[in-house]
Amino acid sequence: MKKYLSFLFGLLLLCTAGCYDPDTPDTKWNKKAFRNMTGLVPDSGIKGIRAHEELFPPVDPTYCMAFTATPEAVARIVDKRKMKKTDPSEWHDNFFVPPSIKWWNAEERKISDYYVAEVMRNGTTDVMYFLWHDPKTGKCQFMMVYF
C-alpha cells in the first residue's frame, strides 16, 4: 500500500510540475511556455506572460499565451516562427479556451494585427502558430495548435 501511495504521489507531482499558471504573469512556467511556443527567450521587451494549455481530447493540443511586447519583440517572434501578416477576418475562433481565461480576449484580437505560420510534415499540417498584436497597446495573444 505504501508503494502504491508513493507511486500516486509521484505521478501527481509529475503531472503538476510543468503546469502553466494562467492567473499569475511571468511565473517560471509561463516564461518556459513562451520559450517553447515562440522559440525565443523572453527578454525585457516581453512582460506579463500568462499561459494556458488545453490538452483534453478530442480537442487538438492547444497552447495560448497573452503578454505585452515591444514592436521589436513582436518582429523577432514573427521572424523566428516565419509568420506572415494575414487578414484578421481569416481567423475562426473555434478553438476551445475556457471562459475563465479572461485574458484570451476576442475583442482585442479583432483590433490587432494578425500573423500566422503553418508547419507542414509529410504533406499535412503539423502545427500552426497564431499571433495577434495591438500596436497601440503592445498587447499580444499567441496560440500554438498541434494537429
Q: What is the pLDDT of residue 16?
A: 39
Q: Which of 48, 83, 52 is CA-nearest to residue 69?
A: 48
Q: What is the pLDDT of residue 6?
A: 39
Are 83 and 77 contacting, i.e. CB atoms less than 8 angstroms apart?
yes
Domain ranges within the chain, ordered by starting residue: 18-146
- 90 band by pLDDT with thresholds 50, 70 and 90: confident
Q: Does residue 108 register a pLDDT over 70?
A: yes
Closest by alpha carbon to 84, among 118, 58, 53, 111?
118
Strands, sheet with 113-121, edge to edge from the N-terminal-most edge strand: 46-54, 62-69, 139-146, 124-133, 113-121, 84-86
All cell numbers assigned to 109: 484580437
